[in-house]
Amino acid sequence: MSDQLKFIVEKLNKDPFKKNYNLITFDSLEPMQLLQVLNDVLAEIDPKHSVDIRDEMPDQTVKRMLNILGILKYKPQANTGDMSTFRQGLAVGSKPVIHPVLYWLLQKTNELKKRAYLARFLVRLEVPTEFLQDDTMAETNKQMLTATFLLKYEELMENFKILHKECEQLKSSGLSTSEIRRDISAMEEEKDQLTKRVERLKKRVDTVQNHQRMLEIARQLRLEKEREEYLSQQKQTLRNQLLRIEHAELKLQRAQHQLKNMRQAAADAKPEGLMKRLEEEIKFNSYLVSEKLPKELENKRHTLSLLQKVVNEPEMSLSDLTELESRIHEVNSEINQLIEKRMRNDPMDDKVSMFRQQAAIIARKKETKAEELQEAKEEIANLEKEIAQKLNQARDVDGSEILRGDEFKRYVSKLRGKSTVFKKKRQEMAELSAECGVLQRTEQVLKHRHDHMQQQLQTMEQKRGISGYSDTQEELERVSALKSEVDEKKGRTLDDMSDMVKKLNSMFAEKKTALAPVIKELRPLRQKCQELTQEYDEKKAQYDSCAAGLESNRSKLEQHRRSLMEECSQAESQYHYINLIKKSIEMQIKRTADEMKAYVSPDSQERRKSIREQYTRNIAEQENLGKKLRETQKSVRESHGLNMKQVKMWRDFEKLMECKKQCFLKIQNQASVGQVIQEGGEDRLIL
């Protein structure tokens, strides 16, 4: 709201309004001043509305503003309520009503000016009813409402639209006569320069041998380049066609895939499911047709009849309102007395009323659920349309098939699993690579040591005369080690199996002994739980019935409260409206009394203060001003011929000087060209 007020104040302080407001002064404006500001903004959009609202009745002001706002296609905001509340707020100068209107008007001032201008020619004129009381006016109005006249009227409006569009296009095209003349003059200058260059080049080329042959070759080169460009364009068009063919093939494949999926879905669908779905839809549609829609139609007709009655009734005064309020209070008291009497006399009827209330609540819930179902269906249809559009856009961009629903969920879960496995494997690979590097280094060191020891051992065996002894010894040790490892594994597995069986038996016995007392305690608790559930169901049924009755009473009281609040607000608004009319009438009466007093008073100073005297003085001043202007016009007409001759002589003098300037520039250019040719001849002589 603060941003809205800042924008309004900023726009009002600029041209053409120049109000010099700030946020505090604008927010503290009186209702009449705020209405005057709104009228000034409307007058800027359409000059017909430049009036002082103090000289106008409030009904006429509201009617005029609503008319122009309707032409400008303004829609009241949701917080302002319906049209009647908007009209009342506009009449009393309410800030929550006028501030959004000002914000909307100041946002689109230029666009609304154009719309208001067009409305003068495109909105049909309506003759007021007070003018139709005259017979001649009524006959002319009937003639104007004939079919031929209306057709001509509409034809003229269409012609105006076409001409206005053409005018706007010409304005937006940016082509003006001055610009075209400038372009033509610039093109002529360029043409002169090009002809001069061509003449210079011809003079230079004439001295060269075989210049005709060279010109022919240059012409052929230019033709070949043009042909090359044409062939490249054809090549590009063929590539584009190939791409379109590929896209069409991809679309065909996607359509075939969709057709295949739809056929599979139709094949997998069971007739029982389809019948059940159709039965549900038939029940829902039959409920809508037989119960919901007729009730809504009946309510609409009832409200329409009430509104027609209200419209047809004459305007009500304060006495009528007080009588109606007293009658409403009497009828309400009688209704309360009858309800109390009925509740005291017939207890069976109270039970029936409770069941009726429950039935009404259930019917209301049923209606709400049906509305929710209808809204959900519409939302599902809209979402399906959006999904189809998004799928088409994605297919046009990517060309690949898009997963849906459960397939996408499975794909995401599979990706998550793969990502976790990938992270674990990558960590293991990093650890293994580090360990592999360490082990490779240790292996190299050990191999080096082993080779050194083997060389020493072989030298010692050769010295002692027992070469090959170490190899046989290592083979025997390796075989014995393998045999011992196999024996140890067999014994270890048998011991583990026996220990596992013993542990399982002991655990089973311990759990059985521990659960025995718990099972004994659980049996009576189960019986008690069944009894408590039965009691809970009974209490819950009683609670639901009592809650339904209280809910129905609360809804009735709430409706009664709402109706009373609406009546109170309507009475308050009418009270403020009447007070406003009263104040305006008192102000007008006071002004007329002051005017009569000033006009009748014998004092000349007092008479001068009257509006009539002021207007007469203004008329006399304007007449004197008109005489002076006519005299000046006469003098201007007398001296107009001489002045125009002098202007023509000055223009001819300017043209003559411009021609001399051009001749001087041409002579200077020719001298420079001759100097260049002379320098070129000297260079050729030197060569």
Record the tokens describing residue 275, joined without a space: 């019948």
672/678 Cα distance (integer angstroms): 10
Q: Which residues contact 12 (CB under 8 A, 6 or more apart)?
A: 19, 21, 26, 37, 106
Region of poorest pLDDT, from 113-117, 120-124, 450-454: 120-124
Share of the chain above pLDDT 90, in %: 1
| Identity of the residue numbered 278 | L
3-state DSSP assignment of residue 291: helix
433/188 Cα distance (integer angstroms): 81
pLDDT of residue 684: 44
Instruction: Give residue 191's pLDDT band: very low, low, confident or very high (50, 70, 90).
Output: confident
Q: What is the pTM of this model?
A: 0.29
Record the tokens describing residue 628, joined without a space: 């002076």
Q: With left for phi above 0 and alpha for psi between -120 and 50, is residue 127 left, alpha or beta?
A: beta
The most confident of 235-244, 343-352, 505-514, 589-598, by mean pLDDT: 235-244
Q: Where are the domains of the chain?
A: 2-123, 628-687
Region of poorest pLDDT, from 121-130, 546-555, 578-587, 618-627: 121-130
More confident residue, 451 or 269: 451
Q: Which residues contact 239 (CB under 8 A, 6 or more apart)?
A: none
Read off the pLDDT of each residue in 187-197 and give the average, rounded to a whole number. 87
Share of the chain above pLDDT 70, in %: 78
Read off the pLDDT of each residue in 580-588 and give the average, rounded to a whole number. 87
Cα–Cα nearest to 585, from 10, 20, 59, 29: 59
Instruction: Give residue 682's pLDDT band: very low, low, confident or very high (50, 70, 90).
Output: very low
Read off the pLDDT of each residue in 589-608 and give the average, rounded to a whole number. 74
More confident residue, 545 or 477: 545
Mean pLDDT of all residues in the chain?
76
Model confidence pLDDT, tens digit, residues 496-510: 666 776 776 777 677
Q: Are 11 and 106 in contact (CB under 8 A)?
A: yes
Residue 601 CB coordination number (10 Å): 13
Record the tokens describing residue 408, joined without a space: 């996408």
Residue with tokens 């190299």: 444
Residue 687 has pLDDT above 50, yes or no: no
Enclosing H/E stretch for 466: none
Read off the pLDDT of each residue in 550-576 and give the average, rounded to a whole number. 84
Q: With left for phi above 0 and alpha for psi between -120 and 50, is residue 18 left, alpha or beta?
A: left
3-state DSSP assignment of residue 292: helix
Residue 686 has pLDDT above 50, yes or no: no
Residue 290 has pLDDT above 50, yes or no: yes
Read off the pLDDT of each residue in 44-55 and give the average, rounded to a whole number. 78
Specify the fold of 2-123: Actin-binding Protein, T-fimbrin; domain 1 (1.10.418)
Residue 141 has pLDDT above 70, yes or no: no
Q: Are 28 and 127 in contact (CB under 8 A)?
A: no
418/431 Cα distance (integer angstroms): 20
Query: For 228-285, where are the E strands, in sequence order?
Result: none
